[in-house]
Each structure stands twice: as C-alpha cells, then as structure tokens.
Structure 1
C-alpha cells in the first residue's frame, strides 16, 4: 500500500459495497432515501483526499435521508464503464432508482455538503 491510502476509512465511515450487477436491484428496493454511490479506486490520491476530508467531520456527511454505497471501480470496471467515468472519485446521487446527478471531482467538504443538502430539499419538496 502506498502512503496515500486511508485503510481505516470504511471502518470509520461504514457503507455497503455494491457491484454493477447488484446496483439496479438495490436502487429499485430503495427505502425513499437518497442513495449516494461513492466510486473510488485503490491508491487513488484524489479518492484519499475525499476520504480524509470526510473523516475529519463525518457527522457532516450523515443525513437521515441519505444512505451510502461504495464500489472500487478498479475491482469492478463494469461500473466505471456504466457511468462513463473519466476520473475518480465520483459520487452519484439516486432517488427511487432515478439518477439525480453526480459530484466529481471532489469539490471539498462545504460544496459537497451543500450539493447533497440541496438534493435532499428538492426531494422533500417533490414528495
């Protein structure tokens, strides 16, 4: 492992791993929360920056209206192809199986939180 890895990230900020083959069924069975799909890669410096910033204030990234999923696209290249990735990290937001949008590259904590909270407000307003 390189010195840029954040090996404790998924222990300190748990989120289920999902693969391309299971994503559609998981999103279809959604419980009305927004799903954030975190696409990342091992030894990816930009992914590690995002992970470290999330770990600095994890409470800012946890909302009752949101559930997290993750996939290492180096281990699951079909996921990268499916979303036409040109770089990671990438965060895709879904609600009831519909893609709401994506956040890439990592914009920093404040802009990320602002974007997610905007989607939460829009989802509530349309309910």
Structure 2
C-alpha cells in the first residue's frame, strides 16, 4: 500500500489531524469544546475522492462550519473500521 499515492490536499487544506487506533480517543479529546469530525477514508475509495473534491470546491463554506477535523485511513487502521462498524463504500 505504501506505493499508492493519496491526494491529501483536503487533509492539509482543512488542517485535518491524522488519527490511528492508538491515538484516536486522545486525538478527539484534544478538540476540547470544538465540534470534532473524523473523515474516515480508504485507498482507492471513489466516494472518498468525491467528498474531498466537493469540500475543496467550497473551502470557505467548510471552514465557516468551525469544525475540528481529523482523518483516518480505515483500510490501514482496520480496528477503527470495526469499532465504528464501517463496512464497504459509502459509510
């Protein structure tokens, strides 16, 4: 999987902090009183790419929501997929 390139533009544009299974709860706790959103994604996920492109098409509107963003590759961190019952595309 290391050779597959992931378009991480949306992750950097919205300051999404990457979470893995070990740091997931602490990462969310770091949001404090901010509303936290986790963008769960996977390699070669068509709907994930559509979502990122839609967000990038309206960055000001996304930022105006005032969200604290996180992201996690649930294909890499399968325990998070199991924890949140994520199966298939879309979830």
Q: What TM-score, normalized by structure 1, do the two folds share?
A: 0.59
Q: 1:23 to 1:45 in 2, by over 3 A?
A: same
Q: Counterpart in 2 of 1:81?
A: 82
Q: Which has the higher contact order (CA 8 A, sep 6+)?
A: 2
Distance of aligned partners of 1:63 and 1:32 in 2 relative to their CA distance in 1, 3 Å threshold: farther
Q: 1:63: how far off?
A: 3.6
Secondary structure of the residue aligned to 2:75 is coil
Structure 2 unaligned blocks of 5 or more: none
Offset from partner CA, 1:17-71 (integer Å, 9 cap, x none): 0112111122234320010011001110010000110010111111464200000
Q: Compare the two structures and name the one with the higher strand fraction.
A: 1
Q: Distance in 1 between matches of 2:15 and 2:63?
A: 11
Contact 1:33 1:67 in 2 (8 A): yes
Q: List gaps (5 residues or longer) in structure 1.
A: 90-103, 105-127
The count of corresponding residues between Structure 1 and Structure 2 is 88
TM-score with structure 2 setting the length: 0.79
Query: Which residue number corresponds to residue 14 of structure 2?
Result: 13
Kept in 1, the 8 Å contact 2:34–2:67? The answer is yes
Question: 1:12 and 1:33, CA in 2 relative to 1: closer, same or farther beyond 3 A?
Answer: closer
